[in-house]
Amino acid sequence: MSLVIFGDSFTFPDGTAATNHVYTHARGFQEHGVSVHVICFENEYLDEYDGIRDGIKYYHPFARKKRSPSFFARRWHKFMKYVRAFMLLKKINKSDKVISINLWSFRFATQLFSFFLAKAFKTKLLIDSSEHPLRNIRDNKAAQLLGRLRLNVERGFYDGVFCISNYLIEFYKSNGFAEKKLILVPSTVDTSRFSTRTESPLPYEYIAYCGSLTVMKDGVHILVESFSRISVKYKDINLVLIGVGDTQEEEDFVRNLVKSLDMESRIIFMGLLPRTDVPRYLMNAKILALARPKSKVADAGFPSKLTEYLSTANPVVVTKVGEIPYYLRDNEHAFLAEPDSVDAFAEKLEYVLSDYDFAKRVGEKGKELTATTFNYNFQAKRVLDFINSLSN
Distance CA 309, CA 287 (A): 9
- Who's near 125: CB < 8 A, 6+ residues apart? 100, 101, 103, 114, 115, 117, 118, 157, 158, 159
Q: Answer whether 362's CB lies under 8 Å from 315's CB.
A: yes
Counting as low any pLDDT under 70, the low residues of the chain are 136-140, 142-144, 391-392
What does the mean pLDDT of the chain come to? 92
Angle formed at CA 286 by CA 285 and CA 287, multiple of 5 degrees: 90
Return the pLDDT at 143: 66
Task: Choose among 307, 297, 302, 244: nearest CA to 270.
Answer: 244
Q: Answer whether 185's CB lies under 8 Å from 163's CB.
A: yes
Q: What's the whole-model pTM score? A: 0.84
Is domain 192-371 in CATH 3.40.50.2000, yes or no?
Answer: yes
Burial letters 208-245, b for 16+ CB under 10 A, else e = bbbbbbbbebbbbbbbbbbbbbbbeebeebbbbbbbbb
Return the pLDDT at 152: 79
Q: Answer whether 181's CB lies under 8 Å from 390's CB.
A: yes
Task: Choose among 288, 74, 75, 335: nearest CA to 189.
Answer: 288
Query: Are the folds of 2-188+375-389 and 192-371 the same?
Result: yes
Topology of domain 2-188+375-389 in CATH is: Rossmann fold (3.40.50)
Return the pLDDT at 379: 92
Return the pLDDT at 151: 78
Task: Choose among 162, 285, 97: nearest CA to 270.
Answer: 285
Maximum distance among all Cα pairs of the chain, rounded to whole angstroms = 64
In this predicted model, what pLDDT tens digit does every residue of 239-256 receive, in sequence order?
999 999 989 999 999 999
Return the pLDDT at 155: 83
What 8-state DSSP symbol labels residue 146? H
Distance CA 114, CA 297 (A): 25
Return the pLDDT at 275: 85
Return the pLDDT at 16: 75
Return the pLDDT at 259: 97
* Domains of the chain, residue spans: 2-188+375-389, 192-371
Burial letters 112-128, b for 16+ CB under 10 A, else e = ebbbebbeebebbbbbb
Helix and strand numbers, DSSP H then E, in the chain: 14, 14
Return the pLDDT at 137: 64
